Amino acid sequence: MHSRVFVLLAKDNIFNENYGYPIADEIVNQIPEADFCGQGDLEKDIKWFKKVYGEDTVGDREEFSIKDNDVIVGYKLNAEVFKKSLEKNFTEILKKVTKVLLKKDDDIFKKAQLIEEISFIVNPGGFYFYIDGYGVMSEVDLVLYALEDFKEYYIIDTFDYHF
């Protein structure tokens, strides 16, 4: 299966010519189940992001002129709307996991199937985020470690990874 890593960069760092973010090889090494990572399609991936988290989670396309007439394209993340969407998703995830946990079986194969089922429930889209200053994070890690400190972030790139 394929999914995405969304690269979030603080607005201040968009104009920092010394700032860089990882390349695909560095990304794939930070996602345990990934075996391949390549360039994503930002426009299409933003549409996918909006389907999962809601239309209002990201703003319109913006262009930032940087040195040597280079342009960086970004989509501003609405942190509050994103946070509410994650909270709603987590509530649904917990309900589904609870149902799975109530299934009882003594067979090790069945237990393994239940664990696999839970893993798909916990991260249904398989999305990860590379966040400026934090590195690659799952949705859960993002909420636990980064969401409270969110600044003005833009989604400026995506990576397609296979797992």
Q: What is the pLDDT of residues 97-155, one digit of tens each?
A: 888 888 777 778 888 888 878 877 777 677 888 887 788 888 888 888 777 777 788 89
Does 152 reside within a domain? Answer: yes
CA dihedral angle for residue 150, residue 153, residue 159, residue 163, rounded to 10 degrees = 20
pLDDT digits (tens, 9 = 90+) for 36-82: 777 889 999 999 999 999 999 999 887 777 666 677 788 998 988 99
Number of domains in the chain: 1
Does 91 reside within a domain? Answer: no
Does 117 reside within a domain? Answer: no
Q: Contacts from 102-111 at CB under 8 Å and sequence distance 24+? A: none
Residue 155 neighbours by CB distance under 10 Å? 22
What was the pLDDT predicted at 16? 67
What was the pLDDT predicted at 76? 92
Domain coverage including residue 69: 2-78+127-162
Does 118 reside within a domain? Answer: no
**If we measure between CA atoms, which residue out of 156, 162, 158 comes closest to residue 126?**
162
What was the pLDDT predicted at 58? 92
- Return the residue matching tokens 């079986």: 105
